Structure 1
Amino acid sequence: MVDWDLAGRTARRLTGAGPETTREEAAAVVAELHSAAAIAVAHVEELTGLRPVPGGPVPTVAVVDRPGWIDSNTTGMAALLDPLADGLQAASGTTPGPLATAIGSRATGVQAGGVLAFLCTRVLGQYEVFGSGGRLLLVAPNIVETERRLGVDPSDFRLWVCLHEVTHQLQFTAVPWLRGYLEEQIAAFAEATDLTPDVLRERLSDVLRSLTDVVRGTGADDDAPQGLMALIRDPEQRAVLDRVTAVMSLVEGHAEFVMDGVGPDVVPSVRTLRKRFAQRRKGRGPIDRVLRRLLGLEQKMQQYADGRVFVAGVVELAGMDGFNQVWAGPENLPYKEELTEPARWVQRVLESRPAFPA
């Protein structure tokens, strides 16, 4: 359904190399990021109380440039989306011919390349859940560019970013069922579809039209708050998306809680970093804002906020050991409506579920 090789080539053509640095400066950045990631592990484990499952895969850290991030994500997106696309096609009962498939895969490949080109200049790091899996990626040029733009202490910022990403690494190495749960939700999403190509095209036109109105200043800012997520209207698929939103809000909010929770003893300028970084997440102009909305990044920002409210609220009510019961199994994950009302989760889960071993 998507020509991922073309997507990668398109993204690399559209992407700049990043900020100017000497070879010596670049080597120093790479070395410091590796060191910061290693240092972050002990701080994250101490604060969260989580430990990787014994005998599990050994996490690796890769400091990459923008093309390296693109290559990794074309592999990851193919592993995630190709089975979904096959499932949607099978569920719809339609099979396009060879010519339509070839043309369609190239068109979507170019579109996917544009998305990757936009994202690869903004992502600071990520833990690879799908595809090759198990690697922690740190995108050196984006980290350097961001710390320069924000005017913050480079060493503090690099460690701060690593704290966030190492938290994601620990979530999936300490809670091995989490990846399988996400894969199950993706499969359930495909099984629940009733979309036909004509309906999908019509809904996509509606979303693009509302985004165009926002760019022109003729539509309200919240005309298309969910971007491409607005294409999904089937109740069963919406239920799946609610579950995925809840778990992603949890893991993002947990990482946000940790990166600030270590305090100034570990990251002296942590309060300044948070204040200035929050401004970065608002976008840099109308086109940037619309693209973020189209790609669902505005929803992701809400995930950060709601998830942090949930984690902080549960920790305040039940302590970190109480919060860690969320990792005992899928039944302990928060419902979407519990994210902003953590007391409801505490009442539902902690009074009736078996304890998650510390």
Structure 2
Amino acid sequence: MTSVGGTEMVDWKLAVATAVRLVKPGPEVSRDEAREVVAELRRHAKASEEHVRGFTRMVPAAEGGDTPVLVVDRAGWVKANVEGFRAVLGPLLTKMQDRRAGLPGGAVLGAVGGKVTGVELGMLLSFLASRVLGQYETFAPVVGELSGSATGRLLLVAPNIVQIERELEVDPHDFRLWVCLHEETHRTQFTAVPWLRDHIESEIQAFLGETEVDPATLLERIREAVQSLGGGRPPEEGGGGRSIVELVQTPAQREILGRLTAVMSLLEGHADYVMDGVGPRVVPSVVDIREKFQKRRASGAGRLDAALRKLLGLDAKLRQYRDGERFVRAVVDEVGMEGFNRVWTSPNTLPTKVEIAKPADWVARVHGRTDA
């Protein structure tokens, strides 16, 4: 990572240390129970491959089909995601570093700002680390302790899965398979569609490339947002309570974000659709799991939790699950699974944000069909 005088824009080691220190401990399990959970998750991840591929009719490319599956604890999830952040944010931080180098007192800003940002990033990661069940890490590093492949790696966060299955009082074996079906769908999406990773990365880099906020202002905006959560106040409606992404948006970034929102809605909605489609055949208690999990997903865990979800843009992610699943279901009902799979042909066949809300428009554009 670019640095001036040895000082990085973000103190990544401090971010990891802060997150690991602050993250809540996982549920109590014996060593034998922990081993069994890990082994079962690995078995379910492997079994999910056949279930998902058979239902979606998507076949991974030969060079990308064997991406790693890692069962991790909360600290492992933090470390993996920090490495991903470093890879994705590199160009933006280089740009900000160059701009800061010419500022009066730039060295002081670097020494202080890097540590402050590291602590704040660690705080956010500690919040997320106890909530994520699984993740297909698209931009995984190809070297290091938790190395991935050129197309990513699948992470399953064992403590969180155990905690949620206990909270929901659902069958643990069914729940673990159900989670694996969702995450395996994401792995299949990226391994079966070779251009998808590069397309999303180019959109992200275009978004970051449009960032014109100077380092001091960016740090101050993030700091103000975090400090606004100090009293556990819920975000205000209207102009207040913006997410971190919204804090630094330009008009060009809003256009890019619209495209990214559409593709993420597609990916999340597709995973939910597949999970529901495969579930009844292989997960006996899927109806009970789905009902309880949907209630939990929609509710939050209090005022501070709601404020953090808004700040991080997680409310938008919940809408992506809902809107994307409706899009996939409507398209499959209209043109079948093979017809839906034309969505993976190229970036031009991805749905727009408008089409996510109006699936018939996508069908008309890609298939040349209308209801008339």
| TM-score under structure 1 length normalisation | 0.91
Inter-partner Cα distance in structure 1 for 2:43 and 2:60: 19
Whole-angstrom distance in 1 between the partners of 2:106 and 2:223: 24
Instruction: Give the drift of 1:233.
Output: 3.7
Tell me the residue number matched to 2:248.
232
Q: What is the alpha-carbon distance in structure 2 between the residues aligned to residue 203 and residue 67 of structure 1?
A: 27
Matched residue SS, 2:281: coil
Q: What per-residue deviation string (whole Å, max 9, x for no partner) do you get for residues 170-195 of structure 1?
A: 01100111111111112211332332
Query: Residue 351 and residue 157 in structure 1: after superposition, are their counterparts in 2 closer, same or farther (change >3 A)?
Result: same
Distance 1:115 1:189, change over 3 A: same
1:32 is displaced (CA, Å) by 0.6
Task: Provide the residue aligned with 1:100 in structure 2.
Answer: 109
Output the CA distance in 2 between the equivalents of 1:110 and 1:208: 11
Moved more, 91-100 or 135-144: 91-100
Q: CA deviation at 1:92?
A: 9.0
- The TM-score normalised by the length of structure 2 is 0.87
Distance 1:332 1:53 in 2: 19
Deviation at 1:265, TM superposition (A): 2.1
CA distance in 2, matches of 1:211, 1:28: 39
- Mapping of 1:221-300 within 5 angstroms? 224=240, 226-281=242-297, 282-300=299-317
CA contact (8 A) 1:92 1:193 kept: no
Q: Does 1:24 align with 2:32?
A: yes
Task: Name which of 10, 26, 40 aligns with 1:2.
Answer: 10
Is the CA contact 2:96–2:215 (under 8 Å) kept in the aligned structure 1?
no
Partner of 2:333: 316
* Aligned residue in 2 for 1:344: 361
CA RMSD of aligned residues (A): 2.3
Of 15, 22, 31, which aligns to 2:23? 15
Q: Distance in 2 between the 1:61 and 1:216 partners?
A: 39
1:168 aligns with one of 186, 192, 207: 186
Q: 2: distance between equivalents of 1:250 and 1:308?
A: 7
Q: Contact (CA 8 Å) 1:19, 1:145: kept in 2 or not?
A: yes
Is the contact made by 1:88 and 1:191 (CA closer than 8 Å) also made in structure 2? no
CA distance in 2, matches of 1:24, 1:209: 42
Query: Counterpart of 1:355?
Result: none
1:152 is matched with which residue?
170
Specify which of 183, 193, 197 is matched with residue 211 of structure 2: 193
In 1, Cα distance between equivalents of 2:99 and 2:335: 44
- 1:293 CA displacement: 0.9
- The aligned runs of 1:41-60 (5 Å cut-off) are 41-56=49-64, 58-60=66-68
Counterpart for residue 324 of structure 2: 307
Deviation at 1:58, TM superposition (A): 1.5
After superposition, give the CA deviation of every residue in 1:9-30 in whole Å (9 maximum; x if it has no partner): 1111111330001111111111
* CA distance, structure 2, for counterparts of residue 139 and residue 233 of structure 1: 32
Aligned length: 350
Q: CA deviation at 1:350?
A: 2.0
Report the counterpart of residue 43 of structure 2 in structure 1. Answer: 35
Which of 72, 81, 94 matches 1:86?
Answer: 94
In the aligned structure 2, how far is the partner of 1:120 from the partner of 1:326?
32
User: Unpaired runs of 5+ in structure 1?
Assistant: 353-358
The amino acid of 1:32's aligned partner reads: E
5+ long unaligned stretches in structure 2: 1-8, 142-147
Q: Structure 2 CA distance, aligned partners of 1:304 and 1:120?
A: 20
Q: Which amino acid aligns with 2:33?
A: E
What percentage of residue pairs aligned between the two structures are identical? 51
How big is each residue's C-alpha offset from its partner over 1:290-335, in whole Å with a ceiling of 9 and x where there is no partner? 1111111111111111111111111111111111111111111111
Kindly state the Cα deviation for residue 100 of structure 1 after the two structures are TM-superposed: 1.5
Partner amino acid for 1:135? R
Structure 1 residue 336, shift from structure 2 partner: 0.7
Classify 1:200/1:59 alpha carbon distance in 2 versus 1 (closer, same or farther; 3 Å): closer
Counterpart for residue 142 of structure 1? 160
Is the 2:168–2:292 Cα contact (8 Å) retained in structure 1? yes
Q: More deviation in 316-325 or 98-107? A: 98-107
d(CA) in 2 for partners of 1:252 and 1:65? 23
Please tell me whether residue 177 in structure 1 is matched to residue 195 in structure 2. Answer: yes
Tell me the CA shift for residue 87 of structure 1.
3.5
Between the aligned partners of 2:233 and 2:64, the Cα distance in structure 1 is 52
Name the amino acid aligned to 2:211: T
Structure 2 counterpart SS, 1:33: helix
Task: Identify if the C-alpha distance between structure 1 residues 206 and 118 changes in structure 2 by more than 3 Å, giving closer, same or farther.
Answer: closer
Residue of structure 2 equivalent to 1:110:
119
Which consecutive segments of 4 or more residues in structure 1 shift more than 3 A?
Answer: 87-96, 196-213, 219-226
* CA distance 1:263–1:160, change in 2 (3 Å): closer
Q: Which amino acid aligns with 1:319?
A: G
Deviation at 1:61, TM superposition (A): 1.0
Deviation at 1:278, TM superposition (A): 1.2
Tell me how far apart the structure 1 counterparts of residues 96 and 108 of structure 2 sit (CA, whole Å): 19
